[in-house]
Structure 1
């Protein structure tokens, strides 16, 4: 099982300024699908962060183009035809507590922020940890191009 990080989603959607490793991401997705090496889960956090990156684009043409691409990907998730499934996470007090505590990382949200690990990246780790807590006999990594996040993945 692998959680798809924002860095991967932005590359696959070719978000300007966030897709310098696009060919690498496409090749890796193709390889993962052909080898059926891992089931892929799309964290809610990656959707929100990617949408924010798109909304912040200064060029309206690319903002619309990328928003259409993201919308298209979300429709494939809804229809079950995407190369990944949505990680359905319950956003509640327990989730917020896990985020504040940093769950399995050994450091709090405050400590991570001071060390430049953003709340979105930390939340992807929490989504993964909560997924593992509700499943048994499963391992889960994070597919990312972000070096800091990868160090925890």
Structure 2
């Protein structure tokens, strides 16, 4: 089975070319093409869909926001028709989300990374980590990783067994 890549918000913002959130666009598009050629499967966690929409709505004038929002919708619509090279992760059950809520305080308490000691893991990032763990269990024979520009998330990587 090919590698499975969970796309983080920082990556999707560059792919969509969201103004002020696209500084690594060329590098990201080159890597995206490379992953596609390697037949990588892409998953967009639900938190990334929500966070990306938030960044779009908080960025630029109304016309810019609308144009980027339209591109966002078109890209996500293509995930449902199979035209895009990725799919959107399923929502987890309320029971699972409730479990995460009880884990959240300890994640919020810990430093996000050695260089980001003033913040912990957000609930959105925790849900991405949970999607990674679910994928590792479901596809234990596959390489699975979170593709992110955030130091803490890009450490999540499972090599093929």
TM-score range, shorter chain: 0.7 to 0.9
Q: Are the equivalent residues in 2 in contact too, given 1:2–1:140 (CA < 8 A)? A: yes
Corresponding position of 2:73: 71
Residues 108 and 122 in structure 2, CA contact (< 8 A), matched pair in contact too: no
1:7 to 7, 10, 15: 10
In structure 1, distance between residues paired with 2:93 and 2:76: 19
Structure 2: gaps of 5 or more residues: 113-117
- 1:133 alignment counterpart: 137
What is the Cα deviation at residue 83 of structure 1?
A: 1.0
Q: CA deviation at 1:108?
A: 2.5
State the Cα distance separating 1:35 from its structure 2 match: 2.2
Q: Any stretches of 5+ residues in structure 1 without a counterpart?
A: none
| Pairing partner for 2:106 from 87, 105, 108 | 108
Partner of 1:150: 154
For 1:31 and 1:41, locate their aligned partners in 2 and report how far apart those are by CA, in whole Å. 16
Distance 2:102 2:7 in 1: 22
How many residues get paired? Answer: 148
User: How much has 1:133 moved relative to structure 2?
Assistant: 3.1
- For residues 4-153 of structure 1, the aligned pairs below 5 Å read 4-36=7-39, 38-101=40-103, 108-112=106-110, 115-153=119-157
State whether residues 44 and 89 of structure 2, in contact with CA within 8 Å, keep that contact through their aligned partners in structure 1: yes
Separation of aligned partners in 1, 2:23 and 2:141: 36
State how far apart, in whole Å, the 2-side matches of 1:31 and 1:136 are.
23
Give the TM-score normalised by structure 1: 0.85
In the superposition, the TM-score normalised over structure 2's length comes to: 0.81
Q: CA deviation at 1:149?
A: 1.9
Q: C-alpha displacement at 1:141, in angstroms?
A: 0.7
Distance 2:75 2:68 in 1: 10
